[in-house]
């Protein structure tokens, strides 16, 4: 009776749909809650780099600090400035947040695993698209809208300047970022992220074949997620706070959340493209290697933030257009000559 029920095509389809829904919910929840520990880690790392303790009061070693911050942000008053565009002001943080999460639809976290008890094979990615890397780059490029619209809708000169800066910056560095990915695609001969990881198995990591591409990707990636030394959109020295100067309460928290999620997705992308994804020595399961690599890259990004000063705006544009872009074209040329 049960066998018959399980082999019914309609039931099989329902199970497939259910599995995808569960995966989407799990990934979203995990990504949504990641910024909580990340803010704590960032402040602790900052503290220790600057020879102080960082958060220490709430809970042992300040471990409950993110929760306290969250409660504070929820209960703060949500202020909408007089003369702001109220409709855009309200939806801008959500427009910023959606693409940051949508990126994870194609991100592969590991190979197939078999779930015990029901004996069903489940892939550790939501979808393996034929155009995976293009999808990720295209969707990641959309997150600029939240920043521009938030800056414009605030009707404040500092926020507007922050929004303008960020749109110019993200468009400039998106080119170098995409071109750095083309080198990887040429080596691997596929656009699918799963294929890219599989091609690197057995220590054939792309960083060995694409060192120049990796350097370009790392620098452009930092600029794309607005991290120091490229965080001009929120340059507090000249802009007050930047594009989110007028935001408060949960809308401000959504912008912060987006930034952390973007940092995670950029680290994940870097691991998949250049560090072999879940490839590693066999004594640990693949997904553990994957998470270790991602955690290390996130740590390096935080480390960078408290080590380097910020670039000036004209320097930022010079690096993007006159150095990174020609270098990435050169990288494609070299890769083309070697591969063919």
Partner 1 sequence: MTEQIFFFIFAALAVGSAIAVVSLRNPVHSVISLMVCFLQMAALFVLLRSPFIAVVQVFVYVGAVLVLFLFVIMMLDIHKASMERFVSGGQLGVIGLLVVLVIEMVLIVSKSKLAGISVASVTHLDGSVREIGEALFTKYILPFEVVSFILLVALLGAIVMGRKEVK
Give the binding site for partner 1 (CB under 8 A).
Answer: 85, 87-88, 129-131, 134-135, 137-139, 141-142, 144-145, 148-149, 152, 160, 163-164, 167-168, 170-171, 174, 191
Residue whose CB is less far from partner 1, 152 or 214: 152
Q: How do beta strands 120-122 and 113-115 pair?
A: antiparallel
Residue whose CB is less far from partner 1, 127 or 304: 127
Contact 320, 178 (CB under 8 A): no
CA distances from 298 to 26, 29, 60, 301, 312 (A): 21, 19, 24, 5, 24
> Closest approach of Cβ 191 to partner 1, in Å?
5
> Closest approach of Cβ 142 to partner 1, in Å?
6
> Closest approach of Cβ 39 to partner 1, in Å?
29
> Closest approach of Cβ 88 to partner 1, in Å?
7
Residue whose CB is less far from partner 1, 13 or 22: 13
> Closest approach of Cβ 154 to partner 1, in Å?
12
Give the start-end residues of each E strand in the chain. Answer: 113-115, 120-122
> Closest approach of Cβ 68 to partner 1, in Å?
36
Burial of 8 (0-12, 13-18, 19+ CB in 10 A): exposed
Question: Helix, strand, coil proportions of the chain in percent (round to 5)?
Answer: 70, 0, 30
In angstroms, the CA 152 to CA 156 distance is: 8
Query: DSSP label at 312?
Result: P
Residue whose CB is less far from partner 1, 86 or 285: 86
Contact 172, 123 (CB under 8 A): no
Residue whose CB is less far from partner 1, 8 or 307: 8
Residue whose CB is less far from partner 1, 217 or 275: 217
């Amino acid at each position: 009776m049960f066998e018959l029920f399980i082999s019914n095509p309609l039931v099989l389809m329902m199970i497939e749909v259910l599995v995808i829904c569960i995966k989407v919910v799990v990934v979203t929840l995990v990504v949504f809650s990641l910024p909580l520990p990340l803010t704590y880690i960032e402040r602790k790392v900052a503290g220790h780099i600057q020879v102080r303790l960082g958060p220490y009061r709430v809970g042992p070693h300040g471990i409950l600090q993110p929760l306290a911050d969250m409660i504070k942000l929820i209960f703060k008053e949500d202020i909408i400035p007089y003369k702001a565009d109220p409709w855009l002001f309200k939806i801008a943080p959500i427009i910023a947040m959606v693409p940051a999460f949508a990126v994870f639809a194609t991100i592969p976290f590991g190979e197939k695993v078999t779930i015990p008890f029901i004996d069903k094979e489940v892939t550790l990615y939501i979808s393996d698209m034929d155009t995976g890397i293009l999808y990720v780059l295209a969707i990641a490029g959309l997150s600029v809208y939240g920043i521009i619209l938030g800056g414009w809708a605030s009707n404040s000169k500092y926020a507007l300047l922050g929004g303008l800066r960020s749109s110019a910056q993200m468009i400039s560095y998106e080119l170098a970022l995409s071109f750095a990915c083309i080198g990887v695609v040429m080596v691997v001969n596929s656009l699918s992220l799963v294929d890219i990881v599989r091609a690197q198995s057995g220590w054939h990591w792309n960083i060995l074949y694409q060192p120049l591409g990796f350097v370009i990707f790392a620098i452009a990636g930092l600029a794309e997620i607005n991290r120091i030394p490229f965080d001009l959109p929120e340059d507090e020295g000249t802009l007050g706070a930047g594009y989110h100067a007028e935001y408060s309460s949960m809308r401000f928290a959504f912008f912060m959340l987006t930034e952390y999620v973007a940092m995670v997705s950029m680290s994940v992308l870097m691991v998949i493209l250049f560090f072999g994804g879940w490839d590693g020595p066999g004594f640990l399961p693949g997904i553990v290697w994957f998470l270790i690599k991602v955690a290390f890259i996130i740590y390096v990004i935080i480390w960078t933030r408290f080590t380097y000063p910020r670039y000036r705006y004209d320097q930022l544009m010079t690096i993007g257009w006159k150095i990174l872009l020609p270098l990435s074209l050169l990288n494609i040329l070299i890769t083309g000559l070697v591969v063919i």
